[in-house]
Amino acid sequence: MAALVTLLRLLRRTVALRAPFGLFLFPQWIARWTIYPLSGRRAWWPGYEVARHQRVYATLNDPDLMRRFAQNAPLPPGYGTRLDERVVEYPWVLARLGPDAHDLLDAGSTLNWPYLLDHPLLREKRIALLTLAPELWYLPDHRLSYLFGDLRETRLRSGAFDAVTCISTLEHIGMDNSRYTGMADRAGGLHAALDELRRVIRPGGTLLLTVPYGQPADLGWQQVFGPSALADILDRLGGMVRDQAIYCYSADGWQIADEDGCAGAVYHDFLAERRPPPDGAAAARAVACVQIQY
């Protein structure tokens, strides 16, 4: 067993970091260089997710881009064209995870990718990944704990974590999650989830939160938060907002913007409309990123 764990770790460090999807989804890696470019780089076609993770991986290892995300500075023209909001959410959040955050809760398990968990910004942290149902894979590492449960009632100890990340997760609370878990849950409870996020962070800790932003919408499987809903979320969470940024998508890619300029952004519901829009939006056309200190 020890030899198997060592081999898996070696594969993760040598293969998964260079090909973010690793060997497990090797056909997607092939599609990245065949079907995806031939499709005109259409979102959610075979190979798309590999291309997205490549963009994130390159950004996390680019000091200039990470400086821009840390300072909420303008991004280069064309950054992240035809790619979804993860290409701004991951760098923004990781740029604010300091070395003092030893115990981290990933509420929603969006960090569960080998190249992210092995990145220097996360490699030395003890991470609990909380999600509703089992995922595609789990990584054998003593630093990682995989937890399955409802964010509205976590059963986690109060003040257990130095930091909590919640990346594009709140919009799914109480919605139809059958595509992820097989459970069609529309029971509401957003406030309960917000209370839990606040409860499990110890004094002096940090919450790093991202949500789709723009024209309010109930898409059934998720919602989009407008200015008033975002204000309500922040009011419920309490604490002190240390940093906040809004990124907007256009045909020229992702760019830092302001709340008013993105308030009318319309989410591209890729589940309802398979045809790509003229601007190439893959999903959200705006995302709000917030850092709260307790």
Q: What angle do CA 264, 213, 56 make, to 5 degrees?
A: 125
Do 65 and 59 contact (CB within 8 A), yes or no?
yes
Q: Check pLDDT > 50 for residue 84.
A: yes
Which pLDDT score is estimated for 179? 75
Cα separations in angstroms, 126 against 101, 102, 160, 277: 9, 6, 11, 41
Please give the pLDDT value at position 180. 74
pLDDT tens digits, one per residue of 8-63: 343 444 344 444 445 446 678 889 999 999 999 999 999 999 999 999 999 999 99
Question: For position 16, what pLDDT does the model report?
Answer: 42
Answer for the pair 133, 149: CB distance below 8 angstroms, yes or no: no
* pLDDT for 86: 98
Query: CA-CA distance, 203 to 293, in Å (whole number)?
Result: 9
Which pLDDT band, with edges at 50, 70 and 90, does 292 fall under? Answer: very high
Q: What mean pLDDT value characterizes the chain?
A: 90
Taken in order of first residue, the domains within the chain and their CATH numbers are: 79-293 (3.40.50.150)
The whole-model pTM stands at 0.90
Nearest to 49 by CA among 15, 24, 75: 24
Per-residue model confidence (pLDDT) at position 249: 98
pLDDT digits (tens, 9 = 90+) for 138-189: 788 889 999 999 999 999 999 999 999 999 999 999 998 887 777 666 678 9
Whether 3 shows a pLDDT value over 60: the answer reads no
Q: How far from chain centre, in Å, is Cα 185?
A: 21
